[in-house]
Amino acid sequence: MITDIESATPALCRLQLGSELRQLRLAAGYNGRTVVRKLLWSPSKLTRLETGENASVEPSDVIALCEIYGATPEKRAMLQGYAAVTKTRRDWWQSAEYRPVIGPGFKAYLGLEATASVQQNYESEFVPGLLQTEAYVRQIYRHTHQGVSAEEIDSLVSVRMTRQGALYRRGSLLKLTAIINEAVLRRAVGGTKVMRDQLSHIVDVVTELPNVRVQVMPFSLGLHPGMNGPFIVLHFPGGAALRPIVYVENLSGAWVSRREDDVAQYEEAFSDLQSLAPGPQESLSLIKEAVKEH
């Protein structure tokens, strides 16, 4: 439950609202098909509401669902408050500047990241997004988004830089635990200066922010559970009725999974990676050595 709706972000309100509506439906003994038939809705409309994927939520839709589920007056007022926030405020990634360059899968992820309390990130090729410098990410987009205009690249870079505010937000800092493959330290992105600055930035952030922890997976350890590719697991505040999710990104797109089996599989892989990799201090030494090598 959100204790201060007025200060809550639209993303958190959408996710909390969706979770509460799903719990009400299950407690009332309804399946989704029955509900959408009663309201003459499409099945996807109810799904989007329960997963928090709509940019905004109509209070009238919340009222209709509360009627069917028999919600208490207190619960109805709270859920309408959540809906009102989604109608009157916008998350930063919903702005006209960013909408054209953010795909649906990544947009769904941004709403979750902005709400999360813990991010567990394994990266095999790139520096984790929340730790990238502007010069580093600009080089990546220039090579992976060929044919994209300079203005669009500027917007993509701005999205990445704005995301990093999660590490500094007031009252609800995101706790980041990142594990990076040694290849990330060795691969020259944009030349030696870009890499020196990038790796030095990681050292600075880890040293200055107690909510950031980085470990390095050395080549010498051989096979490991992250070899199938990068992934992110997000956990949410205890007061929010939101289950952990996993996010995976590749050439064909990005997807978010809430399935318990998927999340458990990735959580186990991350736990194994943490156990295998050298600890934060030894990993920091490896990063500092890489700075000198570049």
218 compared with 12, residue with greater pLDDT: 218
> What pLDDT score does 275 carry?
96
The 10 Å Cβ neighbour count of residue 278 is: 15
In SS3 terms, the chain reads as CCCCHHHCCHHHHHHHHHHHHHHHHHHHCCCHHHHHHHHCCCHHHHHHHHHCCCCCCCHHHHHHHHHHHCCCHHHHHHHHHHHHHHHHCCCHHHCCCCHHHCCHHHHHHHHHHCCCCEEEEEECCCCCHHHCCHHHHHHHHHHHCCCCCHHHHHHHHHHHHHHHHHHCCCCCCCEEEEEEEHHHHHCCCCCHHHHHHHHHHHHHHHHHCCCEEEEEECHHHCCCCCCCCCEEEEECCCCCCCCCEEEEEECCEEEEECCHHHHHHHHHHHHHHHHHCCCHHHHHHHHHHHHHHC
Task: Note if the pTM is more than 0.75.
Answer: yes
> What pLDDT score does 239 carry?
55
> What pLDDT score does 171 carry?
67
Is the pLDDT at 133 greater than 90? The verdict is yes
Mean pLDDT of the region 61-82 = 93
**Does the domain made of 94-293 have the CATH classification 3.20.20?**
no
> What pLDDT score does 5 carry?
57
Pick the CATH number of 5-90 from 3.40.50.300, 3.30.830.10, 1.10.260.40, 3.40.605.10: 1.10.260.40
Is the pLDDT at 240 greater than 70? The verdict is no
Q: What is the mean pLDDT of the chain?
A: 90
Mean pLDDT of the region 170-176 = 82
134 falls in which pLDDT band (50, 70, 90)? very high
Do residues 118 and 235 lie in contact, with contact meaning Cβ atoms separated by under 8 Å?
yes
Mean pLDDT of the region 112-118 = 88
Domain boundaries, the chain: 5-90, 94-293
Of 87, 30, 95, nearest to 56 by C-alpha is 87
7 falls in which pLDDT band (50, 70, 90)? low
Predicted confidence (pLDDT) per residue in 9-55, tens digit: 788 888 889 889 999 999 999 999 999 999 999 999 999 898 887 77
Predicted confidence (pLDDT) per residue in 80-101, tens digit: 988 988 888 888 888 888 888 8
Mean pLDDT of the region 59-81 = 93
Predicted confidence (pLDDT) per residue in 247-274, tens digit: 998 777 778 888 899 999 999 999 999 9
Is the pLDDT at 148 greater than 80? The verdict is yes
State in Å, rounded, how far the first CA of the chain is from the last one: 48
